[in-house]
């Protein structure tokens, strides 16, 4: 077996020393599960009760529960705005507000119609 000549070849500089290879590094653990969406926000309690009150106003105490629904819907919107995205339920509050205003408008029209009938009867009986 021939022994290599440690001298550099003619016209070429000596080769740089070879650095030792680094110690093997353990592989990083695999990433955790990736969710495609965030978990749903907690619904504001006032929004739920506003919708319940608005629906109940059609069956039970017409004007009082509709006004309660409007107040609760406003409180729910304020709580949702203050929460910074933690609370949800703006759609419930909006639905409660629409139902309550529709109910109050219908009750108002019925009261006006009833008043017109009473006035018509009173005028007609004279």
User: Is residue 16 scored above 70 in pLDDT?
Assistant: yes
Confidence of residue 35 (pLDDT cuts 50, 70, 90): low
* 90 or 3, which is more confident: 90
Does residue 8 sit within a domain? no
Does residue 37 sit within a domain? no
What residue numbers bound the domain in which 100 lies?
42-124
Does residue 103 sit within a domain? yes
The pLDDT of residue 79 is 94
Does residue 83 sit within a domain? yes
| Number of domains, the chain | 1
Does residue 68 sit within a domain? yes
Unique residue bearing structure tokens 């070429």:
12
Q: What are the pLDDT digits (tens) for 60-103?
A: 988 999 999 999 999 999 999 999 888 999 999 999 999 999 99
Does residue 82 sit within a domain? yes
Does residue 105 sit within a domain? yes
Does residue 114 sit within a domain? yes
Tokens of 124: 């007609």
Nearest alpha carbon to residue 49 among 41, 57, 59, 60: 57
């Amino acid at each position: 077996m021939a022994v290599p000549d440690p001298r550099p070849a003619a016209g070429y500089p000596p080769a740089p020393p070879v650095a030792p290879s680094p110690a093997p590094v353990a592989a990083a653990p695999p990433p955790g599960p990736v969710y495609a969406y965030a978990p749903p926000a907690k619904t504001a309690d006032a929004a739920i009760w506003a919708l319940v009150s608005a629906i109940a106003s059609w069956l039970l105490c017409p004007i009082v529960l509709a006004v309660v629904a409007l107040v609760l819907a406003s409180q729910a919107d304020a709580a949702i705005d203050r929460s910074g995205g933690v609370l949800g339920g703006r759609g419930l509050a909006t639905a409660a507000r629409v139902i309550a205003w529709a109910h109050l408008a219908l009750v108002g029209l019925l009261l006006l119609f009833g008043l017109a009938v009473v006035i018509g009867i009173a005028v007609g009986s004279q």
